[in-house]
């Protein structure tokens, strides 16, 4: 019943996603969420560690694009200094932003992974398009107002998974 919400993998941080890991999966590109996936939702700029991860991906030939539901100013401030293309007001889980991202990085769905921190937006939308999905533990304990409802639903899904014996990063 919840399969459309389940990621292919649960990871604690984006740093667990390496070029070697992606290559082993046949992945050539990454669509990543921004807020609470790469950095805290209220931090404006990339950390040195995230900048290094982005560079590692690019140096390995992995194409990276950010797809965020946030506004242009927020996403642009983060992405432009890193030289990363971006889509703002993505309206995830709707498919248009995923298609636009794949077109921008010139890859097909079987060559792309989605990295995000929310089941109802990042993972559900990407699963509908058959992208490989990584659910990252949110980097901040707090969330913006809009995300609070999604987290309520996620807790219910995680409880159901626990009852079924499926381990998430919550049990790690």
Query: DSSP string covering 56-107, please?
Result: HHHHTT-EEEEE-SS-HHHHHHHHGGGT--EE-S--TTSSHHHHHHHHHHT-
- pLDDT value at residue 92: 92
Q: What residue ranges do the domains of the chain occupy?
A: 3-171
Contact 123, 135 (CB under 8 A): yes
Q: Does CATH number 3.40.50.1000 belong to domain 3-171?
A: yes
For residue 63, the cross-strand partners are 29
- pLDDT value at residue 165: 74
Could you write out the three-class secondary structure of 101-113? HHHHHCCCHHHEE
Count CB atoms within 10 A of the CB of residue 52.
Answer: 12
Q: Which residues have a Cβ under 8 Å from the Cβ of 104 and sit 6 or more positions away?
A: 65, 85, 87
Full-model pTM: 0.85
- pLDDT value at residue 142: 56
Q: What are phi and psi of 31, to 5 degrees?
A: -100, 125
Contact 165, 153 (CB under 8 A): no
Q: Give pLDDT < 50 ranges for the chain.
A: 1, 172
CA dihedral 77, 81, 84, 87 (to 10 degrees): 10
- Omega of the bond prior to 93 within 30 degrees of 0, cis? yes
List, for residues 101-121, the tens digit of each pLDDT value: 999 999 999 999 999 998 888
Q: How far apart are CA 16 and CA 11, in angstroms?
A: 7
- pLDDT value at residue 44: 80
- pLDDT value at residue 157: 72
- pLDDT value at residue 160: 73
- pLDDT value at residue 42: 79
Q: How far apart are CA 20 and CA 30, in angstroms?
A: 13
């Amino acid at each position: 019943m919840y399969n459309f919400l389940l990621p292919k993998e649960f990871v604690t941080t984006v740093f667990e996603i390496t070029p070697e890991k992606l290559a082993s999966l046949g992945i050539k590109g990454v669509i990543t969420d921004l807020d609470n996936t790469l950095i805290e939702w209220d931090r404006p700029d990339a950390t040195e560690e995230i900048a290094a991860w982005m560079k590692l991906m690019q140096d390995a030939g992995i194409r990276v694009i950010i797809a965020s539901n946030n506004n242009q100013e927020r996403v642009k401030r983060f992405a432009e200094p890193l030289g990363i293309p971006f889509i703002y007001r993505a309206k995830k889980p709707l498919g248009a932003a995923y298609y636009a991202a794949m077109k921008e990085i010139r890859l097909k769905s079987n060559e792309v992974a989605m990295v995000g921190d929310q089941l109802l937006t990042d993972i559900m939308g990407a699963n509908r398009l058959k992208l490989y999905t990584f659910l990252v533990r949110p980097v901040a304990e707090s969330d913006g107002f809009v995300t609070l409802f999604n987290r309520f639903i996620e807790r219910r899904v995680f409880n159901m998974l626990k009852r079924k014996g499926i381990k998430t990063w919550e049990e790690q």
